Amino acid sequence: MNIQETATKIKSMEIRGAGNIGRAAASALKDLALQSSDMAPEMFQELLNDGVETLTNTRPTAVTLTNALTAVMAGAKGGTIEELKCGVIAAADRFIAHSIEAIDKITDLCAARIQDGATILTHCNSSVVVKSIIKAHDQGKNIKVFATETRPWGQGYITSRALAEAGVDVTLIVDSAARTFMAETDLVIFGADTITGNGTVINKIGTSQIALCARERSVPVLVCAETYKFAMDMDSADSVIIEERDKKEIIDPDKMQGVKIRNPVFDRTPPELIDTIITELGAVSPAKAKELIESEN
Ligand code: RUB
């Protein structure tokens, strides 16, 4: 897929979810390299830079996009077009392979933490969370899931259908019912778009409210996040841009004359409300996540 096609699909959310966005961006740069030939290295470098800019300007919140593009661009080394192309292709392949491997490792770690008989509540649609729940189910554990609808875009429908198809006992609930159903919940599991150095999790709007409800009832909160979801250089989440999407995703504004409508689609959950972050390197408290990742680099 070319850069423009990929950018359009990310913007329109045909490609969505932080991991998918990162892999799609890496793949688009790889395709650009595969399609480029017979040009000066400077020209190719310029095409790459334009591609990075176009992809970066799609959605602002998930750091996976920036981290994927940075990882692939690190491969653009050499004096000839062939060297540059090979470097970009190899770096994109490495990023994508690492991403898939990371998801598999997190799935194993997360499934192991899901107890037989547990009732889980999840929000939005995280591919790694869905995989983990299905793995626990496939291990023979008798589990139940509450999946929030996830207004306004309805990612919870994707989650519910995927779990039901896999045979998991899943109940779809409206977002505002999360506190009610917390009384029957043993474990909350979220994905993440970005995690800052201090362990703040930026994920789908509503995540922080659900985390608060979980804390009220001492229900543990797990976050599944590959290490490329960390913005290691950001110590505070204030600098993470929260995407605000079209108000039409909420309601036709013509039906709401004189009413302002806001549609921020992510929020920031502070580390105090999260018990454990599961990365491919292991499970840690939010306060220790940065240290764990730095010790591996
Ligand atoms: C998706 C979302 C997901 C994370 C993690 O938001 O908030 O929880 O991206 O997903 P959107 P994954 O639908 O707006 O992209 O685990 O698949 O990376």
| 124 is annotated as an active-site residue | yes
> Atom of ligand 1 at shortest distance to CA of 150?
13
Q: What six digits make up the tokens of 275?
A: 């018990």
Q: What percent of the chain has pLDDT over 90?
A: 96
End-to-end CA distance of the chain: 32
Quick one: pLDDT band at residue 236, thresholds 50, 70, 90? confident
Query: Whose CA is closest to atom 10 on ligand 1?
Result: 126
- Which residues contact ligand 1 via a Cβ below 6 A? 16-20, 124, 126-128, 155, 191-193, 203-204, 265
246: confidence class by pLDDT, cuts 50, 70, 90 = very high
Q: Does 231 have pLDDT greater than 90? A: yes
Q: 49-106: per-residue pLDDT in tens?
A: 999 999 999 999 999 999 999 999 999 999 999 999 999 999 999 999 999 999 999 9
Among the listed residues 162, 241, 231, the one whose alpha carbon sits nearest the alpha carbon of residue 200? 231
Percentage helix, strand, coil for the chain under 3-state DSSP, each rounded to 5: 50, 15, 35
Alpha helices in 139-268 (DSSP H): 155-165, 178-182, 207-216
pLDDT higher than 90, residue 297: no
Please state, in angstroms and rounded to a whole number, the distance separating the CA atoms of residues 62 and 202. Answer: 8
Q: pLDDT class for 296, splitting at 50, 70, 90?
A: confident
For residue 123, the CA-to-ligand 1 centroid distance in Å is 10
pTM here?
0.96
Instruction: Residue 139: count other Cβ atoms within 10 Å of its Cβ.
Output: 12
Query: What does DSSP assign to residue 244?
Result: B
Task: State the residue for tokens 């909160």.
Answer: 221
Q: Is the pLDDT of residue 179 over 80?
A: yes
**Cα 123–Cα 170–Cα 124 angle in degrees, nearest 5:** 15
Angle among Cα 137, 138, 143 to the nearest 5 degrees reads: 10
User: How many Å lie between the centroid of ligand 1 and the Cα of residue 86?
Assistant: 31
Looking at residue 115, its pLDDT comes to: 98
φ, ψ of residue 130 to 5 degrees: the values are: -60, -45
pLDDT of residue 175: 98
Q: Which of 105, 204, 242, 244 to mutate to test the pocket of ligand 1 (most atoms within 8 A of CB)?
A: 204
Tally of CA atoms within 13 A in the half-sphere of 125 that contains its CB: 21
Beta bridge partners of 276: 222
If one residue of 20, 104, 202, 203 were mutated to test the ligand 1 pocket, choosing by the most ligand atoms within 8 A of its CB, it would be: 203
Nearest protein Cα to ligand 1, atom 6: 17
* Mean pLDDT score, 239-252: 96
Q: What's residue 204's pLDDT?
A: 98
> What integer pLDDT is reported at residue 170 of this predicted model?
98
